[in-house]
Amino acid sequence: MRFFALARRPLRAALLVLLLPLSAAAALPATDSQGQPLPTLAPMLERVLPGVVNIATTATVPVADNPLLADPFFREFFNLPAPRRRRQAHSLGSGVVVDAGAGYILTNHHVIDKADEITVTLHDGRSLTARLVGADPETDVAVIQVEAVGLTAIPMADSDQVRVGDFVVAIGNPFGLGQTVTSGIVSAVGRSGLGIEGYEDFIQTDASINPGNSGGALVNLRGELVGINTAILSRSGGNVGIGFAIPIRMAAQIMRQLIEHGAVQRGALGAQAQDLTPALAQAFGIGPGVRGAVITRVRKGSAAARAGLKPGDVVVAINGRPVSNANALRTIIGLLEVGTEVKLRVLRDGRDHTITARVEPPRKPPSHAGGKLHPHLAGARLMDADEMDSDASGVLVAEVAAGSPAAAAGLRPGDLITAANRRVVRNVAELAKAVRGRRALLLNLRRGNASLFLYLR
C-alpha cells in the first residue's frame, strides 16, 4: 500500500503541471495579440454536428467451423459440444440526417449490409431503431429512416462545384469514440478506376477518415454537405491522408430512387466506350485539351443504335455535364433512371453534333450452354456476337468454367468463334448445325488481334 501511495504523489504533480497551462489557456479570450477574433470552425460545427449520427448494427453471420466438428463421432469421442452454426456480429458507422421531417438518413451500404437490427444514436443521446429504406451496393449508398422529432438535417451543397484546394471537414464516429471532427482540403475530384465500387466519382480528401467514419459527413466551411465519407487508401488500416467521399449529387440521385422504388432502376445506352487519349484525339482530328469517351461498340437494337450513335463518336458532354473519360460516361448514364431522355454532345469527323437518346433498362444478352451443342463445349456460355457489337459476326465465348471440357480444350472468355468444321458461323444457331453429329471439332476463332485454330477431339 505504501508503494502505491508513493507512486501516486508524482502522478498528481504531473497532472497539475499538465492542467495548469490548460486552465490558463481556457481563460484567455479567443483573440490574437491585436485583439482580433481567432479563426474557428466552432460556430459552423455547432450547427452541423447534430445532423451526424452514430449507427450500430447487429447481424447474424455463419461461423466457419473445422470440418471435424461436423462429425458426430469425433465430437462424442472427445466430448465436444455441437458446433456453432451462426453468431452475432456488431459494427459501428456513421450517418447523415438529410430530411429531418421524414427522418431519412444517408449512410454507406457496407455499414448496414446484412444487418438484422439498426440502431441510430443522435447527438443528444437518444437511441432509435431504424428501418432500411433501400441500399445500392454498386455505389455503396444506403438510406435508413427513423421516427423522431427534433432532428437536424444538414443542407446539401452542389458537389459539382467542389474544387481541388477547397477546405472540408469530415465528421463521424471513428472507433466508437463518439463524434470526431477532422479537417483538410480536397485533394482531387472525379476519382475513379479504384475498384472500390461499381460506380466511382469520388472526392478525395486528406481530412482524416478512420474506421467508423464510414457514412459520415464531408462538409464545406459553410456547413453544407458535399459528400458521404466512404473509404481510405491504406496499407496498415490507419489513415495516411488519402480518403474518399461519394459526392452528394450522386448520393442524392441514388437516395431519391431508393425512397421512391426501394432499389435503383439503373439505365443504359447499349454502347461501350474507351478513354479519349491524346493519340486517339490526333487520329480523329480533335484539338488538344479535349476530353471525352470514344464509342467503340454499339449494340444492335439498343437505345444508342436507335439514336444514331456510331463507333468512333466522341462523347464530350451529357445534358451539359462534361464527360472526362469512359468511366464518367458509364457513371453518368448509370445514375439516370430508366426512361430519362439525354442529350449527348458528340464530335464526329471533327464536327459537333447533338444526339438525343432515351435511357433503357440494362439488357443482358441471351446466352447458351455450350454443353447442349457439343460435349467438348461443356462449361462455356455462348452468345451471338452481334448482341454485343453491331459490326461483329460469330459466336462470342462469354464465360468458361474452370476445369470444364471447354477450358481443357483451350477456350477463353472473349474468344470469337468465326467458323466450325470449316463452315462459317455467324451465330449460335449456325454453330449448333456445324457441330451436330461430329465427334471432333475444328474451331476457327479470333482472340484479341490474333486468329487461330483449335482442334477438339
Task: Name the residues annotated as catalytic.
Answer: 110, 140, 214
- What's the rounded Cα separation, in Å, for the pair 218 and 283? 42
Asked if 136 and 264 count as a contact pair (C-beta separation under 8 A), the reply is yes
- What's the rounded Cα separation, in Å, for the pair 226 and 251? 10
Asked if 48 and 217 count as a contact pair (C-beta separation under 8 A), the reply is yes
What residues contact residue 49 under an 8 Å CB cut-off, 6+ apart? 123, 171, 179, 181
DSSP summary character for residue 69: G
DSSP summary character for residue 38: P
Q: Within the chain, how many helices (H) and strands (E) appear?
A: 10, 25
- What's the rounded Cα separation, in Å, for the pair 403 and 444? 22
Alpha carbon of 169 to those of 41, 105, 182: distances in Å?
A: 9, 19, 6
DSSP summary character for residue 25: H
Question: What would the DSSP string read from start to end of 418-432?
Answer: EEETTEE-SSHHHHH
Residue indicated by cell numbers 498528481:
12
What residues contact residue 372 under an 8 Å CB cut-off, 6+ apart? none
* Strands 180-191 and 380-384, bridge-based pairing: unpaired
For residue 367, how many C-alpha atoms fall within 13 Å in the half-sphere facing its CB? 16
Residue indicated by cell numbers 495579440:
33
Nearest to 318 by CA among 294, 293, 342: 342
Burial of 422 (0-12, 13-18, 19+ CB in 10 A): exposed
C-alpha cell of residue 139: 455505389
Phi and psi at residue 149, to the nearest 5°: -105, 160
Asked if 127 and 147 count as a contact pair (C-beta separation under 8 A), the reply is no
- The C-alpha angle with vertex 215 and arms to 212 and 217, in degrees rounded to 5, equals 105
Asked if 229 and 217 count as a contact pair (C-beta separation under 8 A), the reply is yes
Burial of 164 (0-12, 13-18, 19+ CB in 10 A): exposed
